[in-house]
A and B are shown apart, each in its own frame.
Chain A
Amino acid sequence: MTPGMKRCAAHGVFAAVVLSAPALFTRMPFYTLSTAVLMVMLAIGALGLVPLTGLARQVSLGQAAFYGIGGYTSAVLSTRYGIDGWTAMACGAVLAGALAWLLGLAIFRAQGHYLTLATLALGIALSALAGQLPVTGRNAGVAGIPPLEAFGIRLDGDLSVFYAFAGMLVLCVLAVDCLLRSGFGRALTAAGDSPLATAGSGVDIARLRRAAFVLAAVLASIAGSGYAYWYRYIDPGIMGLLSSVELLIIVTVGGTRSVWGPALGAFTVISLSQLSKQYLPGTGGTYELTIYGAALILTLLLLPDGLVGAFAAAGRTVRHTVERRRTAATARALS
Chain B
Amino acid sequence: MSPLVDFTVAGLAAGTTYALVGVGIALVHQVTGIINFAQGEFVMLGALLYALGCEGGLPVSLAISLAVTGTVAAGVAMQVLIIAPARAAGPDRLIMLTIGASILVQGLCLTAFGADQHFAPPFSGESRVQFLTTSFSTQYVWCAVLTAGAVAGLWLLLNRTSWGRMLRATAMDRDTARLMGVSPQAMSLLAFLLAAALAAAAGIVLAPLQPPDATIGVALGLKGFTAAVIGGLGSLFGAVVGGLVVGLVEAGVTGYLSSGYRDVIVFAVLLLTLMLRPHGLLRRSGS
Contact = CB atoms under 8 A, between A and B. Distances in A.
Interface string B247-279: 000000000001011111001101100111011
Interface stretch (B2-10, B53-61, B106-114): B106-114
A120 B225 contact: yes
Contacts of A189: none
Interface stretch (B90-98, B156-164, B173-181, B197-205): B90-98
A140 to B, nearest CB: 13
Nearest to A116: B95
Nearest to B98: A297
Contacts of A294: 100, 104
Contacts of B100: 249, 293-294, 296-297, 300
Contacts of B35: 113, 116-117
Interface stretch (A7-15, A88-96, A128-136, A147-155): A128-136
Nearest to A296: B100
Q: Is the interface of A mostly helix, strand, loop or mixed?
A: helix
Nearest to A53: B92
Contacts of A216: none
A289 interface: yes
A290 B108 contact: yes
A297 B92 contact: no
A118 B263 CA distance: 14
Given A59-B92, A121-B270, A300-B89, A292 B107 contact: yes
Contact of A125 (B101, B111, B229, B271): B271
A103 B101 contact: no
A248 B97 CA distance: 11
B92 A57 contact: yes
A107 interface: yes
A291 interface: yes
B215 to A, nearest CB: 10
Given A106-B275, A117-B225, A289 B97 contact: no
Contact of A301 (B86, B222, B229, B260): B86
Contacts of A124: 222, 263, 267
Given A107-B274, A292-B107, A300 B95 contact: no
Contacts of A156: none
Contacts of B262: 128
A288 interface: yes
Interface string B72-107: 000000000010011001111101110111111111
Interface residues of B, number: 45
Contact of B260 (A58, A106, A121, A132): A132
B113 to A, nearest CB: 10
Nearest to A110: B278
Q: Is the interface of B mostly helix, strand, loop or mixed?
A: helix
A293 B107 contact: yes
B218 interface: yes
A125 B264 contact: yes
Contacts of B93: 300, 304
Given A113-B91, A120-B225, A293 B104 contact: yes
B275 A248 contact: no
A61 B99 CA distance: 10
A114 interface: yes
Nearest to A112: B278
A289 B270 contact: no
Nearest to A123: B267
Contacts of B97: 296-297, 300-301
Nearest to A106: B275
A168 to B, nearest CB: 27
Interface string A28-64: 0000000000000000000000000100011101000
B239 to A, nearest CB: 14
Contacts of B92: 53, 57-59
A78 interface: no
B271 A245 contact: no
A129 B99 CA distance: 24
Given A128-B263, A286-B111, A296-B103, A122 B89 contact: no
A290 B271 CA distance: 29
Nearest to B92: A57
A117 B270 contact: yes
Contacts of B115: 286
Nearest to A139: B260
A263 interface: no
Contacts of B99: 61, 245, 248, 296
B225 A252 contact: no
B187 to A, nearest CB: 20
A287 interface: yes
B110 A118 contact: no
A125 B262 CA distance: 9
Contacts of B96: 59, 248, 252, 296, 300
Contacts of A122: 267, 271
Nearest to A105: B275
A241 interface: yes
A103 B275 contact: yes
Contact of A121 (B103, B106, B111, B267): B267
12 contacts: A53-B92, A118-B271, A125-B268, A125-B270, A132-B260, A245-B103, A286-B111, A286-B115, A289-B106, A293-B101, A296-B96, A297-B104
Interface of B: 35, 82, 85-86, 89-93, 95-97, 99-108, 110-111, 115, 218, 222, 225-226, 229, 258, 260-264, 267-268, 270-271, 274-276, 278-279
Given A103-B275, A297-B97, 4 more contacts: A122-B267, A128-B264, A286-B107, A300-B97
